[in-house]
Amino acid sequence: MPEPVAKTNSGRFFEDFTPGETIVHATPRTVTTGDVSLYTALYGPRFAVQSSDAFAKALGYPAAPIDDLLVFHIVFGKTVPDISLNAIANLGYADGRFLRPVFPGDTLSTTSEVIGLKQTSAGDAGIVYVRSIGRNQRAEIVLSYARWVLVRKRRPGTPAHAEQVPELPKVVLPEELGQGCPAIELSAYDDALAGSPFRWGAYAAGEQIDHVDGMTVEEAEHQIATRLYQNTAKVHFDAYGARETRFGKRLIYGGHVISLARALSFNGLGNAFHIAAINGGRHVSPLFAGDTVFAWSQVLEAAELPGRSDVGALRLRLIATKNRPCGEFPLKHGDQYDDGIILDFDYWALLPR
């Protein structure tokens, strides 16, 4: 009998990526109200649009839409076995745009196009740039974002493709926002039910908002969340293997931090109901179980949406810390992030006007 072909996926290495190729990722996933309940239970978000069918319908949605970050995590999770199983580091993401709302019953799948490759000077790894696209069961794009990761080479000596680095926008332009948000019936928007009297016009660039509350993370919680997204990165699940790693324990999925910080941000940004775009983000430092997450936001910019008077956009910088309350708005001294900072996230949110 010939030796059988190895059936186990050991992941792609740097030399396995070809410029321009499109990778179809596995496991389409129907999103349900069960996912919504778990997302609520894992982070405690309180945005009325995503929480209540009645509230959402009054505004013009057919039903309460799925939380944008839940969509992001599910679309992202599918890319892990193909893109980042042999990643050394997630370096960044950019130009993330939520292009269509997702509702319970929709089925999400993901493809990624290789949009750039750059071997490191040492030659034993390289940066892979991909644009990942999440689609629903009608093949409509619901989310598009670029991401770049540092991936090991299988063999250091393998020649690499010619270097190609894509140009990516630092900020999504206001005219590109809003596709993921239907026209909102403003007269039906109830501030009391929404939990905040502050609409778009109440915020000004430069304003800083402490979200006050802290949330401690348990191993069971981040594992349950990360599996919900069918994200298989072993660093999040394998305490046995982690003993030999730099940190000696499981790392929490960076997206878990984003969702925690976003949920905390309700206190101060209760009407910022929709994430329209992700401009970029950096996981400054890892989070571990037992740590407590705090967050604060800075308003970077307020923008009108061309042709729309129902909603306006705020560009927000969301800073998350661990074991450090944010009453003093910790950020940077020079180039150095302050102690305790774990996330520096730049996104556009929509609010009613």
Sign of the CA dihedral 333, 337, 340, 341?
Answer: positive
Helices 33-43 + 254-264 axis angle, to 10: 80
The residues that bridge with 119 in the sheet, in sequence order, are 126
Contact residue for its own copies among 18, 24, 163, 329 (CB under 8 A): 24
Based on the shown chain and the rule CB under 8 A, indicate whether residue 62 belongs to the binding site for its own copies. Answer: no
Query: Do residues 292 and 322 lie in contact, with contact meaning Cβ atoms separated by under 8 Å?
Result: yes
Based on the shown chain and the rule CB under 8 A, indicate whether residue 1 belongs to the binding site for its own copies. Answer: yes
Residue numbers 87-146 binding its own copies by CB under 8 A: 104-105, 107, 109, 137
| Three-class DSSP category at 164 | strand
Q: Who contacts 269 (Cβ-Cβ below 8 Å, separation ≥6)?
A: 196, 209, 211, 297, 316, 349
Based on the shown chain and the rule CB under 8 A, indicate whether residue 44 belongs to the binding site for its own copies. Answer: yes
Based on the shown chain and the rule CB under 8 A, indicate whether residue 187 belongs to the binding site for its own copies. Answer: no
Residue numbers 140-179 binding its own copies by CB under 8 A: none
Query: Do residues 46 and 112 lie in contact, with contact meaning Cβ atoms separated by under 8 Å?
Result: no
Residue numbers 317-336 binding its own copies by CB under 8 A: 323, 325
Of 296, 293, 351, which is closest to residue 329 (Cα–Cα)?
296
Pick 110 or 279: Cβ nearer its own copies:
110
Q: Who contacts 186 (Cβ-Cβ below 8 Å, separation ≥6)?
A: 310, 352, 353
Based on the shown chain and the rule CB under 8 A, indicate whether residue 248 belongs to the binding site for its own copies. Answer: no
Pick 119 or 196: Cβ nearer its own copies:
196
Residue with tokens 């206001």: 174
The DSSP-derived string for 313-338 is EEEEEEEEEES---TT---EETTEEP
Pick 138 or 170: Cβ nearer its own copies:
138
User: Of 119-127, 181-189, 233-241, 331-339, which segment contacts its own copies by CB under 8 A?
Assistant: 233-241
User: Of 32-40, 124-132, 172-180, 311-319, which segment contacts its own copies by CB under 8 A?
Assistant: 32-40
CB of 22 to its own copies, least distance (A): 10
CB of 230 to its own copies, least distance (A): 5
Q: Who contacts 259 (Cβ-Cβ below 8 Å, separation ≥6)?
A: 39, 42, 43, 45, 69, 70, 73, 225
CB of 43 to its own copies, least distance (A): 7
Residue numbers 285-324 binding its own copies by CB under 8 A: 290, 292, 323
Distance (Å, rounded) from C-alpha 128 to C-alpha 87? 9
Pick 157 or 206: Cβ nearer its own copies:
206
Contact residue for its own copies among 55, 61, 76, 273 (CB under 8 A): 55
- Residues in the interface with its own copies (CB under 8 A) total 87
